[in-house]
Structure 1
């Protein structure tokens, strides 16, 4: 796990993970479920009344948003692997695919058949905490890219269909989102601005140094963290539909993103795919107790325990661990990794927290 989290800009601090073979990259299970069936072009979505109409509450169509983002940014990542494998946007659709595959996008209240095999399997439930959080990591990045001009001059406006419930908790067009969440739109637009891509990937075209990729990762993670920070309090009430272990895991995972972002974790296809093997492959239920969930691997149990430890550390230190990691750049990222390592292998205690807090102050 730690090898996967080492930042590109700090490779000199530790040995990098060995590269995977091309055969690994071509396996079908690397991609999100139904990836080949997702719309490849914006014109593959419904066009009605001079608008491209997208149902973001359908798994295949939401997946299509990611596919279009990846397709339109391919040329900026050619130096980082063939077939667009080095594109750092892969983390978003792979996470979405993991949520779909593990049943986290289905209606957790079981009031409807949304998301279930005996109902509408591709339906994304607005009652799902995971799906609502993911909206701000799917639709908002997509609309930010539209506003930034990533897709060029579009022949039609983009319209996102609203869910059946909680319509006021979302926005549905560039203008609508610009009006309601301007700062969040700015963060994603900054990542997708064509001149930013040009700066990061063409000025350094002679060497394609890790610095250029690290700069892009900085902007991407900044927007990613901002999306979660905005959505987390908004959908706090949706956690009531989940079991206590699953709700705790959701909050632990949202908190851990701050730490992962601080390391500038590279969310390319292969690295993200390897990382997700450590995540739970089903929803947690009542009675699941860490670190002894019988049908989880030892690594999955350990990672869940580590996420819990990181969340506890942030609560006890008032999030100072995260913010110090973010402010200390390369050293700070190495610090975060050291802290994660200790909490990963041993239960977190007050002495450990005190030790790392003193290091931050010094």
Structure 2
């Protein structure tokens, strides 16, 4: 069975998997905007327990892990006053909101035959066997310890340590010194983000949003790249469809990161509403999952198409997308496209007039017809000739973005990209 996207499916659904029809935009209340139990999470390092003259954080408790995000947001609020009132413009919102979605949808509770994370047991428990929970460890604890190492929280009287899980302790690190000895490069990436904020000193308004996003997304992608192979063995606890979604999600983050997408409170909430509201189970056939909205189905399909296309090109698809997004102009164009697709139902030229509707339509249709994409059983077969032609169309769009200072080289064996001589 071939899956064909409708004629109005926009390019960004493929590239970032979060394009929405205007009627589908969700209106959020103030309460809905925050992660579940946000008001109960610790907001100060002093709120955590003490033992043997050490501050101990249970990173396997949802509220305590959420509290680390809250502390980082509180301490960084002054740097984002120019981007919205009440800290709504803080770029760190993407992390706790994603964690809240994982909690709300049961992704921290697997496997299902345990009490950890389930309503009938300890609903705040994060399972050490949860792929999502383990991946998130490197997007929660490592940023927090990176901030701590950077001195972002000021003088802390006592050392801070994470409480190890009861099993599989060797998969994690637990303090600044421990993590720096195990994963120094990753710690340095997160430390660099917080040091950049600190560099503003007494003039937080001097923070440049694109620079901050560069540091943040670089660290974010580094965490995913490190954790993805490390926790491959946790995927066995998930269904086939959920496993595929998790891997597709990780790949999609690489594309979104390249645009320096601003992960503030409202942007993250708006797009996250179209992620799956529960774990995928055997028998879920995207894009025809009955209890998911059309937009949620489309996002799942789009992430799958994006991942498979990148695999088919040996990663070159992502490489030339990154090249296109290597300038402020290119990134601004990508973000402008996102906003245009959200605010209007049809494709129109963006502010600098670089997008062509024919490229959008042809590219999506050809990629959708390149094979039997993500149907029952998530089997993927590809007609290389059709997929190659589709990727060439994407290349043309990117070439437009860079005003022809970019050359796409493509053949049936793969795709490569190079700057024009």
- Please state which band the TM-score falls in when normalised by the shorter chain: 0.7 to 0.9
Query: Alpha-carbon deviation of 1:324?
Result: 2.3
Distance change >3 Å, CA 86–CA 340, structure 1 → 2: farther
Which residue does the alignment assign to 1:64?
A: 67
- Give distance in 1, aligned partners of 2:30 and 2:219: 30
Query: Alpha-carbon deviation of 1:166?
Result: 1.3
- Give distance in 2, aligned partners of 1:115 and 1:344: 41
Distance change >3 Å, CA 2–CA 266, structure 1 → 2: farther
- Give distance in 1, aligned partners of 2:118 and 2:225: 29
Distance change >3 Å, CA 167–CA 57, structure 1 → 2: same
Which residue does the alignment assign to 2:138?
A: 136
The reply on whether 1:352 has 2:355 as its aligned counterpart is no
Give CA-to-partner distance per residue, 1:184-223, whole Å, 9 cap, x none: 0000000011x54434993764xx7xxx101100100000
Out of 220, 224, 234, the residue aligned to residue 224 of structure 1 is 220
- Give distance in 2, aligned partners of 1:357 and 1:235: 33
Out of 312, 323, 329, the residue aligned to residue 327 of structure 1 is 323
Out of 67, 83, 86, the residue aligned to residue 83 of structure 1 is 86
Out of 297, 310, 313, the residue aligned to residue 306 of structure 2 is 310
Distance change >3 Å, CA 111–CA 74, structure 1 → 2: same
Distance change >3 Å, CA 2–CA 135, structure 1 → 2: farther
- Greater per-residue helix proportion: 1
Aligned pairs, number: 340
Query: Alpha-carbon deviation of 1:55?
Result: 0.2
Task: Spell out the pairing of 1:176-255 with structure 2 (5 A cutoff).
Answer: 176-193=178-195, 195-199=196-200, 202=203, 205=206, 212-255=208-251
Which residue does the alignment assign to 2:383?
A: none
Distance change >3 Å, CA 214–CA 335, structure 1 → 2: closer
Contact 1:200 1:216 in 2 (8 A): no
Which residue does the alignment assign to 1:55?
A: 58
Query: Alpha-carbon deviation of 1:272?
Result: 0.1
Contact 1:39 1:45 in 2 (8 A): yes
If the length of structure 1 is used for normalisation, what is the TM-score? 0.87
Distance change >3 Å, CA 296–CA 224, structure 1 → 2: same
- Give distance in 2, aligned partners of 1:83 and 1:111: 42
Which residue does the alignment assign to 1:105?
A: 108
Distance change >3 Å, CA 154–CA 113, structure 1 → 2: same
- Give distance in 2, aligned partners of 1:35 and 1:152: 23
Which residue does the alignment assign to 1:276?
A: 272
Give CA-to-partner distance per residue, 1:284-310, whole Å, 9 cap, x none: 011111111111111111111110011
- Give distance in 2, aligned partners of 1:199 and 1:3: 37
Task: Spell out the pairing of 1:167-182 with structure 2 (5 A cutoff).
Answer: 167-182=169-184
Unaligned runs of 5+ in 1: 6-16
- Give distance in 2, aligned partners of 1:63 and 1:203: 25
Distance change >3 Å, CA 271–CA 52, structure 1 → 2: same
- Give distance in 2, aligned partners of 1:4 and 1:82: 29
- Give distance in 2, aligned partners of 1:200 and 1:306: 42
- Give distance in 2, aligned partners of 1:46 and 1:4: 45
Structure of higher CA gyration radius: 2
Give CA-to-partner distance per residue, 1:208-244, whole Å, 9 cap, x none: 7xxx101100100000000000000000011111000
Distance change >3 Å, CA 57–CA 203, structure 1 → 2: closer
Which residue does the alignment assign to 2:377?
A: none
Which residue does the alignment assign to 1:117?
A: 119
Which residue does the alignment assign to 2:153?
A: 151
If the length of structure 2 is used for normalisation, what is the TM-score? 0.75
Contact 1:90 1:267 in 2 (8 A): yes
Cα RMSD after superposing both structures: 2.8
- Give distance in 2, aligned partners of 1:200 and 1:345: 51
Distance change >3 Å, CA 340–CA 76, structure 1 → 2: farther
Query: Alpha-carbon deviation of 1:332?
Result: 4.9
Contact 1:54 1:61 in 2 (8 A): yes
- Give distance in 1, aligned partners of 2:65 and 2:95: 11
Q: Secondary structure at the match of 1:274?
A: helix
Distance change >3 Å, CA 181–CA 47, structure 1 → 2: same
